[in-house]
Structure 1
Amino acid sequence: MGTSSRHWSDSVKKSLIIGAVIIVLGGISFYSYKKNQKPAITYSEYSVEKGDIAVTILATGTVQPKNRLEIKAPVAGRIDEVLIKEGSKVRKGQIIAWMSSTERAAMLDAARSKGEEEFKKWSELYLPTPVLAPIAGTIILKSVEPGQTFTNTDAIFTMSDHLTVKANVDETDIAQIKLNSSAMIVLDAYPKSPIKARVDQLAFDATTTNNVTTYTIDVRPEETPDFMRSGMTANVTFSVKEKTGTLLIPSEAMKVVDGKTLVMKKNEKAPPTETVISTGLTDGKRTEVLEGLVENDVILIQDYSIGDGAQNSSNPFSPKFPKGGKRSSGGPR
């Protein structure tokens, strides 16, 4: 009885060991099979439709006065009265302050000590000197207050004719930007208030920093808003080319073979075919089609999935599709 029981126990142990080995070997084989399995190629459909496309160049810059002008008095003296404040718009020749020369200021101080009548008499005989705005523009800095003395080398006011954005553009993009072309300014301080602008000046001299060569482009707002200030950081979008109502497809739908641009076109009663197309503008995400496709043609865009029946996984680096196109899951038929 004891011998029979021991023999049965050994048989069970051998069976369990054999079963465990089979399970392990089966798991390894399955893992190896799944690991070596090639991705199943699937496709998504995209209906070609018309839309708008714009090629743009992005750059950063700083708000600066186009012409910054320091106003200095012709002689040393003292400010009697300031007629403007910072931010005031002035015209050329406008009186912005009254001043007394050092001699007049000393004489009036002596007259005042003798009484009001004496002071009035000499004030009318010896008139103050006006400080005039040399150009039309905006007062951006007021450096003096009434009663303050200064020399003829001190800047008592600073003004500018108008504000511009000086944007730094890479040398590879400079050829695409033209004088008077449109642009859009967005200030970091006011991101929800874009400002329409135009290219006012292209620099002829380059600046090289850390082996990167850039050119400074002056961008002038069509209308300068009150919140725009000198020194603000700005992002500028330059419009290079635009087209409306043109055929567009996702750029990821194309491939280039032997110098030809191809797309996979779906056919109603035949297998899909590779079609040669001619392209135009591209913004990186979408590309204009000049020849080879017509509106409402359906093209196939390759996706990837692991295993049969697995869900298609979109490439996270692929561009998003425009709202105009109709994209639905499916395979080539």
Structure 2
Amino acid sequence: MTEEISQVLEDAKKRTNRNRVWRNLGVLVGVTLIVLVVGRYFRTDHTAITYTTDAVTRGDLTVTITATGSLRPVNQVEVGTEVSGTIESVNADFNDRITAGQILAELDTDQLEAGFRQSSAALALAEARVVEAQATLTETSNRLRRVQDLIAKKLSSQEELDRATAAAARAEAGLAVAQAEVAQAQARQDSDRRALEKAIIRSPIDGIVLERRVEPGQTVAAALQTPVLFRLAEDLGHMELHIDVDEADVGLVAIGQPAVFSVDAYPDRTFPAKIEEVRFAPEVVAGVVTYKTILAVDNESLLLRPGMTATAEITVTRLQDVVLVPNTALRFKPPAATEEEESSGGGGGLVGMFLRPPTSTTKPVTRPDADGGSQVWLLEDSRPKAVTVQTGPTDGIVTQIIDGDLAPGTPVVVDAVRTGSQ
């Protein structure tokens, strides 16, 4: 009897524990559902999207491209020496203005003058040999005629005639050799005279001395290559700006286009220029392809100097009184539609109802009907509506609208920001 009572009490205790577990589990499920409902309530209808707009305008559009380069003289000449020797005097210095034919420097000419005198003496000797050979030819020619007369009278032998003929031929050849030696000696003398003249280094152009690389007493050797002594610029009043135009922009530049440029020496000033040449030969540096473009520069004030680094802006397009839209409007993309978010949420039933994303107050966007072209977005009943437009040139800030239903003053969407509780 006692055992039966104990068994009944133990079974009652187990049932009580099971009931407590189920009751606790029911409470946990209820609390979870309450949390989900409250969270859904606070997330529902409390988020919105605020759109920022900017107006379409009408005005002028100037499109430019930027490139860097350096200033150079229109005509630059490096003056050297073709003869070796010691610099005896230097007659020009940095920044000196010079004229064509002006003496820049002189070499010691003692050895060159000795060489010229020697070649002159050789020429005189060769000319004397010509006179001697001419006399010999006259003598042998006269002898040949006398022998021929004697042969005609049968008073001389054939052998004598042969000797006279050979002597006359040798004399004629000797005269030709002597005359060739005169020409050779004359050429040597001309070379020595030219070398003597080149010992005086003269300017080939009117201009200014940019650089002097020689000092009096310095020895120069022209055996392997001509040493450069001076660097001259013909006219610094007119210069050239050599810039490197990127391959993506070279199709926009053309001869005659205006440009302005600046240099570090005058940061608050710009200088005018004009394109006068666009070269076809590419230049590749570190895998970047550029094309050398030459701009004509007026430098009458002589503020600009050769070698200055310049940044140029070339005006490639200039439009007046056109419709313009901000580039931010062309880049704008609206947020995804609410219906798309709901379709990607949880499934049906009770769990799906609580796990689906909450409904937003934002209305769905209107997608464009037309294909092709660019898109800008207008606000219609507080929701974005796409408009297809055809665009033209751009300066990086605004773009020309060639075709599209956009009037000046029309607000276009440029940005969207979510606001409210999350």
| 1:159 paired residue number | 232
| 2:102 paired residue number | 95
| 1:202 paired residue number | 278
> Does the CA-based 8 Å contact 1:42-1:302 persist in structure 2?
no
CA distance in 1, matches of 2:202, 2:41: 88
Task: Please give the secondary structure, in 1, of the residue aligned with 2:269.
Answer: strand
Task: Please give the secondary structure, in 1, of the residue aligned with 2:280.
Answer: coil
State yes or no: 1:138 paired with 2:251.
Answer: no
State yes or no: 1:300 paired with 2:412.
Answer: yes
| 1:222 paired residue number | 298
State yes or no: 1:289 paired with 2:406.
Answer: no
CA displacement at 1:151 relative to structure 2: 4.8
Q: Give the structure with the higher percent helix.
A: 2
Kindly tell me: are residues 99 and 173 of structure 1, through their superposed partners in 2, closer, same or farther at Cα, counting changes over 3 Å? same
| 1:52 paired residue number | 60
CA displacement at 1:103 relative to structure 2: 1.9
Structure 1 spans left out of the alignment, 5+ residues: 1-17, 108-126, 311-333
Task: Please give the secondary structure, in 1, of the residue aligned with 2:58.
Answer: strand
CA displacement at 1:275 relative to structure 2: 4.1
CA distance in 2, matches of 1:79, 1:294: 80
- Quote the RMSD (CA, aligned, Å): 4.5
Q: Give the structure with the higher percent strand.
A: 1
Name the amino acid aligned to 1:160.
A
CA displacement at 1:65 relative to structure 2: 4.5
| 1:42 paired residue number | 50
Kindly tell me: are residues 38 and 197 of structure 1, through their superposed partners in 2, closer, same or farther at Cα, counting changes over 3 Å? farther
TM-score using structure 1 length: 0.62
Q: Deviations over 1:75-96 (max 9, x none)?
A: 445343524x3234545x1525
Structure 2 spans left out of the alignment, 5+ residues: 1-26, 115-196, 332-367
Task: Please give the secondary structure, in 2, of the residue aligned with 1:172.
Answer: coil
Kindly tell me: are residues 136 and 42 of structure 1, through their superposed partners in 2, closer, same or farther at Cα, counting changes over 3 Å? farther
Kindly tell me: are residues 146 and 245 of structure 1, through their superposed partners in 2, closer, same or farther at Cα, counting changes over 3 Å? farther
Select 1:251's aligned residue among 322, 327, 338. Answer: 327
Task: Please give the secondary structure, in 1, of the residue aligned with 2:251.
Answer: helix
Kindly tell me: are residues 260 and 214 of structure 1, through their superposed partners in 2, closer, same or farther at Cα, counting changes over 3 Å? closer
CA distance in 1, matches of 2:63, 2:206: 37
Report the structure number with the largest CA radius of gyration.
2
**Which has the higher mean CA deviation after the structures are superposed, 221-230 or 276-285?**
221-230
Q: Deviations over 1:179-231 (max 9, x none)?
A: 23222222244432322222233232223334332222233323376453444
Select 2:261's aligned residue among 167, 185, 188. Answer: 185
> Does the CA-based 8 Å contact 1:79-1:97 persist in structure 2?
no
Name the amino acid aligned to 1:99.
E
CA distance in 2, matches of 1:140, 1:77: 23
> Does the CA-based 8 Å contact 1:185-1:236 persist in structure 2?
yes
TM-score using structure 2 length: 0.51
> Does the CA-based 8 Å contact 2:49-2:419 persist in structure 1?
no
State yes or no: 1:86 paired with 2:94.
Answer: yes
Name the amino acid aligned to 1:95.
Q
Calculate percent identity across the aligned residue pairs. 25
CA displacement at 1:157 relative to structure 2: 0.8
Name the amino acid aligned to 2:230.
F
CA distance in 2, matches of 1:169, 1:54: 18
CA displacement at 1:305 relative to structure 2: 2.3
Q: Deviations over 1:294-327 (max 9, x none)?
A: 76432221422232499xxxxxxxxxxxxxxxxx
> Does the CA-based 8 Å contact 2:81-2:198 persist in structure 1?
no
How many residue pairs are counted as aligned between the two chains? 268
CA displacement at 1:250 relative to structure 2: 0.4
CA displacement at 1:55 relative to structure 2: 1.7
| 2:128 paired residue number | none
> Does the CA-based 8 Å contact 1:82-1:96 persist in structure 2?
yes
Kindly tell me: are residues 251 and 128 of structure 1, through their superposed partners in 2, closer, same or farther at Cα, counting changes over 3 Å? closer
